[in-house]
Homo-oligomer: A and B are copies of this chain.
Amino acid sequence: MKNFTAVSDIENLQEIIKKALYIKENSHSETEKGKGKTIGLVFLNSSLRTRLSSQIAAQNLGLNILTLNAAQEAWNLEFADGAVMNGDTVEHIKDAIEVLNQYCDIIAVRCFAGMKSKEDDVNESILSQFQQHAKVPVISLESATRHPLQSLADCITISENWKEERKPKVVLTWAPHIKPIAQAVANSFTEWMQEMDVDFVITNPEGYDLDPNFTKQTKIIHNQDEALKDADFVYVKNWSSFDEYAAIPEVKENWMLTAEKLAQTNNGKVMHCLPVRRNVELSDEVMDGENSIIYQQAKNRIFSAQAVFSEILDEINQSK
């Protein structure tokens, strides 16, 4: 694996899930693999799970870790090519990346959608600069349109929780929120589910359809009750409108996942990437109920990251 920013970077999804599950049982089996190598974890945004799970994964592999909270600890970054930097920005992202090239063997970066310009976000205005200027492997810790380490953890979690022969029905359901949130997790989950051996359905209110470049042939149902029927897994997530970009058109029905709604499923397991707004996106009852596999998902973030870092290290070691 040369980089890891989308499902397309994975050669064989089943293989990497298998590898992650092996690591889960043997997390200290490769403590020498990263020795003498450095991973830079660059955060342009807040992070709890990604921050901690990436550090654990890197520690388990013996990597040196450089964590940088870019905004608070370093300099205000300029993103525009050709900018005359006579304003608030102090360092161009290109130069920051070139310096990271000198210091790191792997660059991992979190760069959320700005939620202002649809074009900038769709084109991954920040991640694309890392992809263009980095001379070492780049790993996304969530970008404007995708959150692949989360999606891999989601696939691991579904695999762990599904032992039947038939395909499970997986439903990604939109949930309410109080402000505009990026589509990254939803997009990303969608493109990974398309690679998994599952029956995948998205349900969201009218006006909230995801980018068709992600949804492709996936069925979108605007009636939540209908979609939830017989679901084996229910992935709860809010996102703002893609069409009317970053708007949050009013939704009349209550889309919060409650125990009542969950009762319509096939004893469906509940998933969420966290952080979650309790009693807005889903009820306390669901969150704390026995169908929730949300904390297991969070734990699998470690093994998702470790499997990816390990594959990247293999590539680095081979190319020497």
Residues of A whose CB lies within 8 Å of any CB of B are: 28, 36, 38, 40, 43, 46-49, 51-53, 55-56, 59, 64, 66, 68-70, 72-75, 78, 82-87, 90-92, 95-96, 98-103, 178, 274-280, 284, 287, 294-296, 298-299, 302
Contact A83 B51 (CB under 8 A): no
Contact A91 B48 (CB under 8 A): yes
* Closest B residue to A256 using CB positions: B84
Taking a contact as CB atoms closer than 8 A, the residue among B59, B68, B83, B278 that contacts A78 in the complex is B278
Given the contacts A48-B74, A298-B102, A274 and B64 also touching, CB distance less than 8 Å: no
This chain: how many copies in the complex?
Answer: 3
Given the contacts A90-B275, A278-B85, A66 and B75 also touching, CB distance less than 8 Å: no
* Closest B residue to A302 using CB positions: B103
Given the contacts A64-B56, A102-B299, A299-B102, A276 and B91 also touching, CB distance less than 8 Å: yes
Taking a contact as CB atoms closer than 8 A, the residue among B48, B75, B100, B278 that contacts A46 in the complex is B75
- Collect the chain B residues with CB atoms within 8 Å of residue A92's CB: 276, 278
- Collect the chain B residues with CB atoms within 8 Å of residue A280's CB: 84-86
Contact A95 B52 (CB under 8 A): no
Min CB–CB distance A120 → chain B (angstroms) = 19
- Collect the chain B residues with CB atoms within 8 Å of residue A56's CB: 38, 64, 66, 103
A66 to B302, CA, bound (A): 13
- Collect the chain B residues with CB atoms within 8 Å of residue A102's CB: 295-296, 298-299, 302
- Collect the chain B residues with CB atoms within 8 Å of residue A91's CB: 48, 274-276
Given the contacts A46-B73, A46-B75, A275-B95, A68 and B90 also touching, CB distance less than 8 Å: no
Q: Name the residue among A86, A87, A103, A178 with the largest chain B CB count within 10 angstroms.
A: A103
Contact A277 B85 (CB under 8 A): yes
- Collect the chain B residues with CB atoms within 8 Å of residue A276's CB: 91-92, 95
